Homo-oligomer: A and B are copies of this chain.
Amino acid sequence: MDFLDEPFPDVSTYEDFHTIDWLREKSRDTDRHRKITSKSKESLWELIKSLLDAWSGWVVMLLIGLLSGTLAGVIDLAVDWMTDLKEGVCLSAFWYSHEQCCWTSNETTFDDRDKCPQWQKWAELMTGHAEGAGAYVLNYFLYILWALLFSFLAVSLVRVFAPYACGSGIPEIKTILSGFIIRGYLGKWTLLIKTVTLVLAVSSGLSLGKEGPLVHVACCCGNLFCSLFSKYSKNEGKRREVLSAAAAAGVSVAFGAPIGGVLFSLEEVSYYFPLKTLWRSFFAALVAAFTLRSINPFGNSRLVLFYVEYHTPWYMAELVPFILLGVFGGLWGTLFIRANIAWCRRRKTTQLGKYPVLEVIAVTGITAVLAYPNPYTRRSTSELISELFNDCGALESSQLCDYINNPNMSRPVDDIPDRPAGPGVYSALWQLALALIFKIVITIFTFGMKIPSGLFIPSMAVGAIAGRIVGIAVEQMAYHHHDWIIFKNWCRPGADCVTPGLYAMVGAAACLGGVTRMTVSLVVIMFELTGGLEYIVPLMAAAVTSKWVADAFGKEGIYESHILLNGYPYLDVRDEFTHRTLATDVMRPRRNDPPLAVLTQDSTTVEDVETLIKDTDYNGFPVVVSRESERLIGFVQRRDLTLAIKNARQKQDGVVSSSVVYFTEDAPQLPASNPQPLKLRRILNLSPFTVTDHTPMETVVDIFRKLGLRQCLVTRSGRLLGIITKKDVLRHMAQMMNQDPESIMFN
């Protein structure tokens, strides 16, 4: 009679936009594991299968590392080429970027590595004139045209093929990792389209970065490889372990910082991060980093995006400007989050949201028109950051390094004393100030449009510009006033005491920290960029200050704010719930509500159950001994119930509407005249989670968070009183924080 051999169908046991039950997933995996272990003793083949199963986790990590490293390399190369395509083309081979074109050229001299005859700007190629106002206007026009073309392609591809490919993806990945289901968000189409449109979006010159989307791309890779192994594809809990590791690999390739990637995954995105995942994440991050290094997209065999080496230590007094940069970062974070969320809410609620293509075109147009005239905004943002981070060496040709040289300088190349700024530096300062304002404003409108867009790079750019300006100011002050009391001790004339590049780096860390509220992973990423423990203290000081300042204005970082905006059911581990409410205040049914929909163990008919299923939309029903005693015996999932009754009606003779459903161990022997009973104990969860009505809500929140529950039953002295779902918990938390509880939309 127990025909339901597999009461839980293996795949898609959860509906779209629903929360998974971590405990159930875990126990399903233990069952599977137990089955394989016991089978492995039977034959050699089963033993091999069990070994393969045990190793599949590492294999998945290896594959994720390889694919995400490769994709990151391809993206880097393509972005390089297409960014340069906006300005000109390489005559010797049109698929070379500006740098590659001139590197392969023999006619380049060391002084002017950027200028070689093979590389021609569009105006030069089309009209033959490289200089002059006409050429400038033509180049300007073509720059805008290319930018519009790229962004139009990007937004169209996203709209048509994969709507989930837009944005940075990190808020959604955080939600998914916490146990939410969004089907297709990490699918093959999303992977393909996000990779292609990311290249287009970045190349179009918009104020956005590729770092966040790379995390999304890596997670898509993770999801892709999960489907190769039933261990991961059929278990939503195990799948999330893989995705956590994939996120680490994503950051690892985005910055070339494997340890930072692991800590980012741990600190920022992951929800359930057991030690095993820590080891595997580290492995995946390493493989990804080394794959990327083998592809060598930056052509310098460096792993990292912005490699810097500084030669001078920092001094205690410099902590003051560093902390000020931290304050600036915190303020920028607050401003950005508030303004961006307000704009995104406007997009969601007004007509604006209906014209995503137009919006992207308009923003691209404005960006291109304003960016071209300023050399610091014309180039790609990562090049800009790279230049701002750099220390001015002796051979530097950049405008930012236009210092007035001491004629009798005879120092080694590495150690250049502080010098007065030349006219180039002053004009650079003006341009940087304009670039700062431009970046601040345009980024607010860019992040959240319907194209792939990360905000690591724009945030870092804002911070790096501000930092470099402060750095140059301090440097000039120290040079011209080295007899001031604060400079006296550490800055003798002729010494190299201020490194403006370090200020840029500190500023970048501060701004990134203000927006995302990362601390440890941020500092570790920055530390991996420089490779010197020396500068951890300045970075830490700025990151912590920025976090404190930003937290004073609002606890949520940009990702949490977007999660809230979208109403995802995300139970943040960082929110401390400190209110004095009890489970009885939160549970349903409330006072005056109809009583809780329950089933009894031996007195409900098939018809009653079907009516209950039709009339309600709950995910499951508690089963009690009888309506009078209200003693709880278990919990049954709506899905299982529907399936079981459907099956029974089709396949089991004698099950009719008036059949009694039994959840007891043994159905009584009924006279033959009664309809055949339906025994459903197999689908009954005999260990539902319960708390008493007096349990403080802080404990309930803790239990939901740590055990990953979907719902929890409330009892008083053994009597069932009500139920609390994750949505109830989140709504209660929102209410307690004076937010709109209706903003939590999913279950």
Q: Which residues of A contact B (CB under 8 A)?
A: 23, 26-27, 30, 33-34, 37, 258-259, 262, 266-267, 274-275, 278-279, 282-283, 286, 289-290, 303, 519-520, 523-524, 527-528, 531-533, 536-537, 540, 544, 573-574, 576, 578-580, 583, 625, 629, 631-634, 686-688, 690-692, 694-696, 698-699, 702-703, 706-707, 715-719
Contact = CB atoms under 8 A, between A and B. Distances in A.
Contact of A519 (B33, B282, B716): B282
A699 B290 CA distance: 39
Given A267-B278, A687-B699, A703-B707, A537 B692 contact: no
B533 A702 contact: no
A717 B632 contact: yes
A282 B540 CA distance: 9
B698 A687 contact: no
A496 to B, nearest CB: 18
Nearest to A629: B718
Stoichiometry (number of copies): 2
Given A631-B717, A718-B715, A26 B278 contact: no
Contacts of A33: 578
A547 B260 CA distance: 23
A33 B576 CA distance: 11
B27 A290 contact: no
Contacts of A258: 533, 536
A47 to B, nearest CB: 15
Given A533-B289, A718-B718, A578 B692 contact: no
A694 B686 contact: yes
B690 A696 contact: no
A699 B532 CA distance: 45
20 contacts: A30-B576, A30-B696, A34-B578, A34-B580, A259-B524, A259-B527, A275-B573, A275-B574, A279-B520, A282-B520, A282-B523, A283-B540, A290-B537, A528-B533, A631-B719, A686-B694, A687-B695, A703-B707, A717-B718, A718-B718
Given A519-B282, A702-B26, A631 B718 contact: yes
Nearest to A708: B706
Contacts of A524: 259
Nearest to A303: B533
B23 A699 contact: yes
Contacts of A30: 576, 578, 696, 698
A692 B699 contact: no
A427 to B, nearest CB: 38
A718 B531 contact: no
Contacts of A34: 578-580
A286 B707 contact: no
Contacts of A690: 690, 692
Nearest to A624: B717
Contacts of A694: 686-687
Contact of A259 (B259, B283, B631): B259
Given A632-B718, A687-B691, A690-B692, 15 more contacts: A27-B699, A30-B696, A33-B578, A34-B580, A259-B259, A259-B527, A262-B520, A274-B573, A278-B520, A279-B519, A289-B533, A528-B533, A687-B692, A690-B690, A715-B718
A539 to B, nearest CB: 10
Contacts of A540: 282-283, 286
B702 A707 contact: yes
Contacts of A303: 533
A303 B23 CA distance: 45
A694 B665 CA distance: 13
A695 B635 CA distance: 12
A713 to B, nearest CB: 11
A278 B26 CA distance: 26
A483 to B, nearest CB: 28
A716 B691 CA distance: 14
Contact of A286 (B259, B537, B719): B537
A282 B23 CA distance: 32
